[in-house]
Every structure is written in structure tokens, then in C-alpha cells.
């Protein structure tokens, strides 16, 4: 069994590889070759933590495993990020463990990659302004991955506490992109692509804030009760997701479906767009929404690539188990 620590995992996965891993995973799900198993997520009643498992099996990529971890809101006091996770991979032929890979950097990379896959397949090709709503740990990863998908010239960003936008500004500058911080309603109108990546529990972006032709990648809502956008946007938009069951249960779609504003039948899999089974954006003036809820197979696919790179490069620690 190979053990790969956080720093090594960070060195062995780049954004392009994460993109291909996630795009292939969505395609395998669409072809019925890969499936996610039911998610376990529980409040521990200790340290205010949320803890759980995401797992799945991809027969096309021979990938079986799980990600264990969750959210510890007081971790800054220990000098740690709030999200902590580890990925375990198993040999699908024998059930023997093959690798344990630290999953913190991987989670950020696979989440940003899912957002990027949605932009690649759904955003207008002439999109030139990228909007980022949120400036937490995930935001810079999102910005970098999104920026690679179109010839963006400008980033418009908003955060509840504007002081936290400095890291995003530096990341935009490093990519040669102009950076502005308009109020949220103006951001909605100015951006052609908007990535939302907050822990909000009520709509931030309202329907009247979003212009025709916009692509929204809603990445923050991954738990029942969270919400980032007005359900009216979903009522009016073409809606895509990583996995419909998760979108309805714990993604951005949960509220619009509950309110009767979004028929479950209208939620399409991004994987179907990747494989060509679904056309994707049908008109330049349409609003498209990707509800990126985060599936276990994304974690497994990037972890598998890291484990393969580690074997090639002689990195990681081997143990008899």
C-alpha cells in the first residue's frame, strides 16, 4: 500500500490533469460505467464538526475507493484548513487497499476542475469577464481553473468581507487579468461566467442580477440548507449537474425543486454534454447553470492519478498492510 502525504499529492497533480480526470469521470458516469454510492454526512456533536464518506466505483478507470473527512470550523486555531480529508483506494479485483492519499489539495483541485469542465462545455465561447463570488480557501483554485477555459480579460469578484479579496486579486494579476470588485448586482450583469463558492445559506445572486447568456457554476452548495442563488434563476435557466440525485438532495437545485420551480426532469448531467448525448447550451442568450455538488468519483479519479504518478516517480511511502 502506498501512502502519499499532502505535500507530495500537491506536487503530483496539476490543474490540467485534474481537469481530464474529472471530465473522464463525468463521461464514465454518463455512460453508466461509474457510479457513486450514497453519501454519509453526519454532525459529530464534537468540535462542531461535520464528518462523512463519499465513495464509488468506476469500472472504466478500474477505480474503487472512498474519501473520508469533513469540515472542522475551528481548525484555524490549530493552523489547519477547515476541510480535512483522506482518500483510500482499493484493488477492485481483490478489495485490498492500494493507496491512502491526503485529500485536502485534491478536493480543491477536483472541485475547481468540475467548475472548469462546466465552463469548457457550457459557457459562451466569447465570454471575456469572469465573476467570482466568495473568497475563501477554494476561491483561488476556482479562479485559476476557470480562467484557463476562455480568453478572459477581466475578473470581477465579490466577498462578504472585502478584505479577503487580496489573494484573488494577486491570482488574477499573476494571470494578466484586470481585477475589479463591483457590488454584487453589478458583478452579475458584467460577468459572462460566474463562479459561486461560498458557504451561504440564503440566495446571494438574484435573478435580476444575472444577464442573458451567462453561465453560472454554483460550487458552494454541497449540503442540505446551503444556498447561493435565487431559485428563479434555475426556473429560467438550462440546468446541469454532476449527479442529479445529489443536486436535488444537497445541491443548489434542492430549493428550486422543493418550491416547485424546477422539474427534476429538467436537470441534465454534465457528463451527457461531455459525451455528446446532450447538446448543452442551446442559444447564446440562454442562462446555463452548473450545480456542482461534488461527487466521490471526482476524488477517486484525481487520487488514482496521483498514486500512478507517485509509482512512476518513486514517491510516497510503501507499507505492507
Question: Is residue 219 within 8 Å of residue 142, measured between CB atoms?
Answer: yes
Instruction: Give 61 or 103: the residue with its C-beta nearer to ligand NAD.
Output: 103
Judged by CB under 6 A, the stretch of 166-174, 271-279, 286-294, 308-316 that binds ligand NAD is 286-294
> For the chain, where are the alpha helices, taking DSSP H only?
6-12, 15-30, 104-122, 139-147, 166-174, 184-190, 231-236, 244-250, 253-258, 270-275, 296-313
Helix (H) or strand (E) segment spanning residue 59: none
Q: CB under 8 Å to 95, separation ≥6 — which residues?
A: none
Helix (H) or strand (E) segment spanning residue 179: strand 178-180
Q: Is 111 in the site for ligand NAD (CB under 6 A)?
A: yes
Q: Is 204 in the site for ligand NAD (CB under 6 A)?
A: yes
Judged by CB under 6 A, the stretch of 17-25, 41-49, 156-164, 274-282 that binds ligand NAD is 156-164
Of 107, 149, 227, 268, the one binding ligand NAD (CB under 6 A) is: 107
Q: Closest approach of Cβ 320 to ligand NAD, in Å? A: 34
Q: How many CA atoms lie within 13 A of 41 on its CB side?
A: 17
Beta bridge partners of 290: 217, 240
Q: Is 292 in the site for ligand NAD (CB under 6 A)?
A: yes
Q: Closest approach of Cβ 216 to ligand NAD, in Å? A: 13
Return the residues of window 17-56 that contact ligand NAD according to CB under 6 A. Answer: none
Q: Is 137 in the site for ligand NAD (CB under 6 A)?
A: yes
User: Which of the residues 21, 25, 67, 168 is marked catalytic?
Assistant: 67
Instruction: Give 231 or 294: the residue with its C-beta nearer to ligand NAD.
Output: 294
Q: Strand pairing of 288-291 and 238-241?
A: parallel
Give me the residues that bind ligand NAD (CB under 6 A), please. 82-83, 107, 111, 134-139, 159-161, 197-200, 204, 219-220, 222, 292-294
Positions marked active-site: 67
Amino acid at each position: 500500500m502506498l501512502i502519499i502525504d499532502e505535500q507530495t499529492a500537491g506536487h503530483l497533480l496539476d490543474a490540467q490533469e485534474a481537469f481530464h480526470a474529472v471530465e473522464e469521470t463525468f463521461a464514465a458516469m454518463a455512460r453508466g460505467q461509474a457510479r457513486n454510492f450514497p453519501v454519509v454526512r453526519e454532525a459529530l456533536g464534537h468540535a462542531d464538526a461535520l464528518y462523512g464518506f463519499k465513495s464509488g466505483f468506476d469500472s472504466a478507470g478500474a477505480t474503487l475507493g472512498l474519501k473520508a473527512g469533513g469540515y472542522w470550523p475551528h481548525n484555524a486555531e490549530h493552523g489547519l484548513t477547515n476541510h480535512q480529508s483522506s482518500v483510500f483506494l482499493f484493488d477492485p479485483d481483490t478489495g485490498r487497499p492500494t493507496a491512502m492519499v491526503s485529500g485536502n489539495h485534491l478536493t480543491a483541485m477536483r472541485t475547481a476542475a468540475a467548475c472548469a469542465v462546466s465552463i469548457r462545455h457550457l459557457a459562451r465561447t466569447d465570454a471575456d469577464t469572469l465573476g467570482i463570488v466568495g473568497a475563501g480557501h477554494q476561491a483561488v483554485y476556482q479562479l485559476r481553473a476557470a480562467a484557463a477555459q476562455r480568453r478572459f480579460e477581466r475578473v470581477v469578484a465579490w466577498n462578504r468581507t472585502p478584505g479577503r479579496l487580496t489573494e484573488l486579486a494577486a491570482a488574477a494579476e499573476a494571470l494578466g487579468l484586470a481585477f475589479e470588485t463591483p457590488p454584487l448586482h453589478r458583478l452579475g450583469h458584467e460577468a459572462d461566467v460566474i463562479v459561486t463558492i461560498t458557504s451561504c445559506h440564503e440566495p446571494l445572486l438574484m435573478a435580476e442580477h444575472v444577464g442573458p447568456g451567462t453561465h453560472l457554476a454554483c460550487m458552494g452548495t454541497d449540503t442540505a440548507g446551503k444556498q447561493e442563488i435565487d431559485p428563479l434563476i434555475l426556473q429560467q435557466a438550462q440546468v446541469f449537474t454532476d449527479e442529479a440525485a445529489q443536486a436535488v438532495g444537497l445541491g443548489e437545485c434542492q430549493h428550486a425543486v422543493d418550491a416547485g420551480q424546477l422539474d427534476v426532469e429538467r436537470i441534465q448531467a454534465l457528463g451527457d454534454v461531455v459525451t455528446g448525448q446532450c447538446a448543452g447550451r442551446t442559444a447564446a442568450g440562454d442562462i446555463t447553470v452548473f450545480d456542482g455538488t461534488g461527487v466521490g468519483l471526482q476524488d477517486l479519479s484525481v487520487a488514482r492519478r496521483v498514486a500512478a504518478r507517485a509509482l512512476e516517480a518513486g514517491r510516497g511511502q510503501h507499507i505492507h498492510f
